[in-house]
Amino acid sequence: MPAVPTTTSQRAAALRDALARAQHEYYVLDQPVLSDQEYDRLFRELQTLEQAYPALRTEDSPTQRVGAPVQSAFRTHRHLVRMLSLDNAFDQAELVAFEQSIERIVGDAVHRSGYTVELKIDGAAIALTYRDGVLATAATRGDGTEGEDVTLNVRTIRGVPLRLLGDDVPPLLEVRGEVYLPFTGFEQMNEARVAAGEPVYVNPRNAAAGSMRQLDPSITAARPLRFFGYAAVLPDGTAPARTQWELLERLMAWGVPVAPHRARCHTIADVGRWADTIEHQTRAALGFAIDGGVVKVNDIALQDELGVRNDRTPRWAVARKFAPDMAVTRLEQIDVSIGRTGVVTPFAVLAPVDVGGATVTYASLHNADQIAAKDLRVGDIVQVVRAGDVIPYVLGPVPERRDGSEQRWQLPAVCPRCGTTIVRYRDDVASYCPNVACPGRQLEGLVHFASKEALDIDGLSYARIQQLLAAGYVHDVADLFDVSVAQLVALERFGTKSAENLVAAIAAAKQQPLSRLLFGLGIRHVGAQAAQLLARQFGTRDALMAATPAQLGEVRGIGEIMATSVAGYFADPTARALIERLRACGLRFDEPNAVQADGPLTGATVVLTGSLPTLSRGEATALVEQAGGRVTSGVSRKTTFVVAGEEAGSKLDKAVALGVEVIDEAELRRRVSGT
């Protein structure tokens, strides 16, 4: 094994510290400083060092979150202190009864203490044992005394610190919390399972629990799991803090993520008001599932005095349970909607049901594959949830309540709005109506076309577009430029001034560059950034429309799927006719910041580092790209030159070490101008 040079060892330690600090800023403080690209670059550098010098690989290295061997079975692990369960309170009267039970033991001391209230995360309970600040063991709750050792799986969860921060970490400590799946991650995971022909998970909690019990840690690593801590205990059963609030603050200081929306409440009435706000306002906006709040006596000495009831539940804490965010109702019909890109999305028409305080009649079904995977049938009794989602979705059927009248559903062969044959592209779970003039795509397409990132038409709101469609004034985006003041003033809530302003805003949108128009057209797979890359590379509409899929795919950041989609769009006669109408309306079809084909920096690879005197990072990048160059994030021997400003840091050091040319902003300006 090669000896590790001192400078290399120091660099590896600095990288571990930088990556740990970045994870703390991202997962705990929710204030990321490092960009994803910079984090990945540092991570790869540490990996390279550890591969060259295995002795540098420590247990708490961020690189050790993946790559563990497959396990044959789970060992049992005994918790330092028994994990307890909570009693429930379902309304304010039961919260008052909870406080009265405490008063009978400690009297007015509970009022001096007050309460700490926290979200009750709907996930999988986990206990993390840290020895000398380093994660040693992670175990499931089990029976409260013993759980399963799932350390290799938990190490893959980025939000779980492998080493606690600070100098005040006890030598032996057990941190307790909840592993959960955010809603977006849950949906993405189920989409992938459908595409792979695997059964979907019913809810995020089951998915999180199942992820913890994978024998292959690489499977767990591929799932977007997260973690929130809520408690810490020492071997003697005491907590390393004087109050619950202080304990949460200390967990955060150690690098443990803690759930948001926690609060200190002086009275039980304050607790009730907090619970009502969380249940009826905050809950719907959360990106993860909760099933209530947890109320704890804040003073930990008082907690110790109150003790435990029946060796199972603490007297000093209670779960304030919320109304279920799931309900059962009949699936009366399955219909489809057509989105702006033509995507065909099935949705459920339900017998009206109250879910989490709102009446639900429609619910998302995502795509035909998910309907088949869940074996949903028209007439089924189904489970419906709306936790965290504005649009509710159907979890699955209740098969035991079937009576034989239920009918299987198939995706329509043709678009119900225009009659065009529905298609499904390779490697895509969605189906599409390919007709760019489909009436079903009109509303969402027009809204997207007028949005800020597209043509940014001030005053053309969703409601205004609905009015224009209903009046028959517009059918596609080109029709917008023919709308007159006289037409608008005939509509409800339009005065002469507002009509003139809207017509002027539509006219002004004609001067938006090609990149904005390209994004506004709603080409499948083409987002705002891809539209900008294409517009800058080709410069004009004609050059872009004439490009082959191979030429499109040569643009950095444009892959094969996107290139094929763009070429297919411009080959469509209906799309070409629409673009010709837009040209006749006077829209701009060039990009002012287009790349110069034979620019002064053509073929150059440039790295930007530090703060430049007058240029932002985006402006400097645009200058380089307009001159034909390419900006990358990392310095290598292939780098043409580095542009360095104040506080340039490690990129400058690496450039000097590799002999790469370093210039300042003034020299960059000279080079891009060709002087």
| pLDDT given for residue 163 in this prediction | 92
CB 617 within 8 A of CB 633: no
Q: Which alpha helices (DSSP H) does 60-123 contain, by range? A: 92-106, 109-113
Residue 559 predicted with pLDDT over 90: no
C-beta contacts of 25-30 below 8 A and 24+ residues apart: 27/158, 27/159, 27/226, 27/257, 28/252, 28/255, 28/256, 28/257, 28/258, 29/252
Q: Which two tokens stand for residue 332?
A: 């009366």
Token pair, residue 106, equals 């400690």
- Tell me the C-alpha distance between 333 and 347, whole Å: 9
Provide the pLDDT for residue 357: 64
Look at residue 604 and tell me whether its pLDDT is greater than 70: yes
| CATH domain 326-408 topology | OB fold (Dihydrolipoamide Acetyltransferase, E2P) (2.40.50)
Q: What CATH number has the domain spanning 88-321? A: 3.30.470.30
Asked if domains 6-65 and 88-321 share a fold, the reply is no
Is residue 67 within 8 A of residue 216, CB to CB? The reply is no
Burial 343-377 (b: 16+ CB within 10 A, else e): bbbbbbebeebebbeeebeebbbbbbbbbebbebb
CATH architecture of 439-511: Orthogonal Bundle (1.10)
Backbone angles phi, psi at 176, to 5 degrees: -115, 145
pLDDT at position 54: 81
pLDDT at 29: 64
514-584 under CATH 1.20.58.1290, yes or no: no
Alpha-helical runs (H) found in 435-572 = 442-450, 462-471, 485-489, 496-508, 514-520, 528-538, 541-546, 549-553, 560-571
How far from the centroid of its chain's Cα atoms is residue 669's Cα? Answer: 38
Q: Is the distance from CB of 544 to CB of 535 less than 8 angstroms?
A: yes
Instruction: Specify the pTM.
Output: 0.54
Tell me whether strands 317-321 and 326-338 are parallel, antiparallel or unpaired.
unpaired
Right CATH for 6-65 from 1.10.287.610, 3.40.50.720, 3.40.720.10, 3.30.70.330: 1.10.287.610
Instruction: Pick from 222-226, 340-344, 603-607, 652-656 the range whose average pLDDT is largest.
Output: 222-226
Q: Residues 348, 394: contact at Cβ < 8 Å?
A: yes
Q: Was domain 605-672 assigned CATH 2.60.40.1730?
A: no
Task: Determine the pLDDT at residue 92.
Answer: 93
Query: What tokens does 640 get?
Result: 């043409």
- Torsion angles phi and psi, residue 395, rounded to 5: -70, -45
* Measured distance CA(655)–CA(611) in Å, rounded: 17
Domain boundaries, the chain: 6-65, 88-321, 326-408, 439-511, 514-584, 605-672
CA atoms within 13 A on the CB side of 640: 15
Burial 507-529 (b: 16+ CB within 10 A, else e): eebeebbbbbbbbbbbbbbbebe
Is 319 in a helix, a strand, or coil? strand
Which tens digit of pLDDT belongs to each residue from 486-495? Answer: 999 999 889 9
Mean pLDDT of 105-119: 94
Which among 126, 111, 489, 122 has a CA at the least distance from the CA of 270? 111
CA distances from 634 to 39, 609, 650 (A): 11, 10, 10
User: What phi, psi does 512 have (nearest 5°)?
Assistant: -65, 145
Question: Tokens 């993860």 appear where?
Answer: 288
Distance CA 634, CA 654 (A): 9
* pLDDT value for 533: 83
pLDDT tens for each residue of 516-534: 999 999 898 888 878 988 9
Amino acid at 81: V
Q: Are strands 290-297 and 263-265 parallel, antiparallel or unpaired?
A: unpaired
* Catalytic annotation, residues: 120
Higher-scoring residue by pLDDT: 167, 265? 265
Mean pLDDT of 553-582: 89
- Which tens digits make up the pLDDT trace of 443-466? 888 999 999 889 999 999 888 998
Residue for token digits 């998302």?
364
pLDDT number for residue 389: 43
Q: pLDDT by residue (tens digit) across 26-75? A: 666 656 666 666 777 787 788 788 878 888 888 777 776 654 555 557 88
**pLDDT tens per residue across span 358-410:** 788 988 888 888 898 889 999 999 988 765 444 688 888 888 889 999 999 99
